[in-house]
Structure 1
Amino acid sequence: MVSSTTATPALETRGLTVRFGGHVAVNDVSCRFTPGTLTAIVGPNGAGKTTYFNLISGQLRATSGQVVVAGEDITRLSASARTRRGLGRAFQLTNLFPQLTALENVRLAVQSRADAGWSMLRVWNARRDLIDKAESVLERVRLADKRHVAPKALSHGDQRKLEVALLIAMEPKVFMFDEPTAGMSVDEVPTVLELIHDIKERRDATVLLVEHKMDVVRSLSDRIIVLHNGTLVADGEPAAVIASPVVQEAYLGVEAARG
């Protein structure tokens, strides 16, 4: 088991549960996520992974249990308030302003983080520091040459990179990636994985990653937790979790068992 008892966790769920009628989608999940680590959340389809993310980020209200960020109970806060407390989430489908340029998308995130409001022009034109910050973020995600291109004209891979840029601009304590490589071509996947790896290597934030590709999980994670039918069934270092016969056979599938 991976222990995080020696440090205040960046994120913690305590007995987190949600019921839809008689169905328990997430069942009493308690986890602590240590600053500077990347945890992969895996399990079969319908295991509760995205629902667990929705409970953490505030898209769903828990039936019971708590979500705690840096020691603060945020269970009753809205999704937007949780973002202000340091949760940053990328969704399975990209969530961008399609009519704005890549630069305009990022600068809105920069303005929000700086509490400079959401004016399209006034604040932006008056604050060179915000412009420089947005430009720097685009450089970091390898999109500087597409700063004036709207997301709708970008490839799916570049849209994913832009979504990572928005998260970086918000400077969250916790990055949450829900299947970030879904729908990408083989050529597009490495760049997005490099960006996630870069966030991890800086060790100044916590990363949660829902991902089905076990080669990605192996290469990036410090820890793996496994959900099945909404219940936490395994939690530990990647090699130990992947080597567990019950996890290989029942939860991670043929790819992991043969890997």
Structure 2
Amino acid sequence: MTKTAPVLETRDLTIKFGGHVAVDAVSCAFHAGSLTTIIGPNGAGKTTLFNLISGQLQATSGQVILSGEDLAGLSAEARSDRGLGRAFQLTNLFPNLSALENVRLAVAARHKIGHIFWQRAASRTDLTELAHDYLSRVNLAHKATMMVGNLPHGDQRKLEVALLMALEPKVFMFDEPTAGMSVDEVPVILDLIANLKQQTDKVILLVEHKMDIVRSLSDRIIVLHNGQMVADGEPAEIIASSVVQEAYLGTSAPSDAEVEA
């Protein structure tokens, strides 16, 4: 067991909608250098848990702790400022600006330059160089000058990853990162996430239903059911569990079958 303090913790995290408990006293700790995938059937509470951590929803009770700080009551934006990065839902694209201009603004925000117009950011060659670097990492350097509104869906999702990387968060949160992408585009996102794993000071959280992706990327799997955490362990242990196979993967041996998201 690691002796280092976790980067992120949830403590009895709970949210109720009327009489329905969508997330029920979930407690877990996430350490630097790890990628944890959260799986479970439809309605299990996976995305709701993400929303509670990132601040899209405020908990009925319980805590979210980031680097020792209780984030209770903080907005999604404030949590982002403290190092929680949520891909595809927290990130906003500016469709009337180019891909380069979008990333350059994210770089400016990360370096606390303040609220500036994109024209002022354009005068900073250091910001532009960093923005080009992030675009290269997501294979969009050749589309740097294209308006975001004209980019295909898959390229917009890759751009969102570039924006998230530019913010340099402590925690990367990916909610079904390959959803809606073509077969050809999926490997780019998976390679990006795999490369992020090499940054041993980061935590990566993933909600995913494609088991081939879960197996290839995960250091740890958490299983939710009816808002409760019912399993937590190494991938081989979790996937081999008869209870998990029957409830989430079907009755056959692990394959590329998908957990219903």
Paired residue for 2:122, among 121, 125, 129? 125
Structure 2 vs 1, CA of residues 102 and 256 (structure 1 numbering), >3 Å: closer, same or farther?
Answer: farther
Alignment map for 1:191-202 (pairs within 5 Å): 191-202=188-199
Residue in structure 2 matched with residue 37 of structure 1 by the alignment:
34
Q: Is the 8 A contact 1:39 1:224 kept in 2?
A: yes
Q: Which residue does the alignment assign to 2:23?
A: 26
One-letter code of the match for 1:54? Answer: N
Quote the Cα distance in structure 2 between the aligned partners of 1:176 and 1:146: 25
Contact 1:18/1:26 (<8 A) preserved: yes
Instruction: Letter of the 1:245 partner, please give it.
Output: S
In structure 2, the residue matched to 1:206 is: 203
Q: How does 1:120-199 map to 2 (within 5 A)?
A: 120-199=117-196
TM-score (structure 2 length as normaliser): 0.93
Residue identity in the other structure for 2:113: A
Rounded Cα–Cα distance in structure 2 between residues aligned with 1:146 and 1:52: 35
User: Partners of 2:120 and 2:249 in 1: how far apart?
Assistant: 49
TM-score, normalised to structure 1, is 0.94
Matched AA of 1:105? N
Measured against aligned partners, the alpha-carbon deviations of 1:56-83 in whole angstroms (never above 9, x if no partner) come to 0000000000000011111221111100
Select the residue among 234, 249, 252 that pairs with 1:252.
249
* Pairwise CA distance, 1:93: 9.5
| Aligned partner of 1:84 among 69, 81, 85 | 81
Give SS of 1:39's match: strand
Deviation string for 1:168-206 (max 9, x for gaps)? 000000000000011111111111111111111222311
Q: In structure 2, what is the equivalent of residue 75 of structure 1?
A: 72
- 2:253 and 2:104 map into 1 onto residues whose CA distance is 41
Residue 112 of structure 1 corresponds to 109
Residue aligned with 2:16, SS: strand
2:259 aligned partner: none
Structure 1 pair 176–225 and aligned structure 2 pair: CA distance change class (3 A): same
Instruction: Kindly report the root-mean-square deviation, in angstroms, between the aligned alpha carbons of the 2 structures.
Output: 1.7
- Could you tell me how far apart the structure 1 residues matched to 2:122 and 2:240 are? 55
8 Å Cα contact 1:19/1:63 also seen in 2: yes
1:219 is the counterpart of 2:241? no
Structure 1 gap ranges (5+): none
Kept in 1: contact 2:106–2:166 (CA 8 A): yes
| Contact map agreement 1:102 1:147 (CA 8 A) in 2 | yes
Summarize deviations over 1:121-155 as a string: whole Å, max 9, x none. 45313322111111111111111111011222222
Please list every run of 5 or more consecutive structure 2 residues that lacks an aligned counterpart in the other structure: 257-261
Classify the secondary structure of the residue corresponding to 1:131: helix
Matched residues in 2 for 1:155 and 1:110: separation? 23
Secondary structure at the counterpart of residue 201 of structure 1: coil
Of stretches 183-192 and 125-134 in structure 1, the one that deviates more from structure 2 is 125-134
- Compared CA separation, residues 44 and 93, structure 1 to 2 (3 A): farther
Aligned residue pair count: 256
Partner of 1:241: 238
Distance change in 2, residues 1:256/1:217 (3 Å): farther
User: How far off is 1:118 after superposition?
Assistant: 2.8
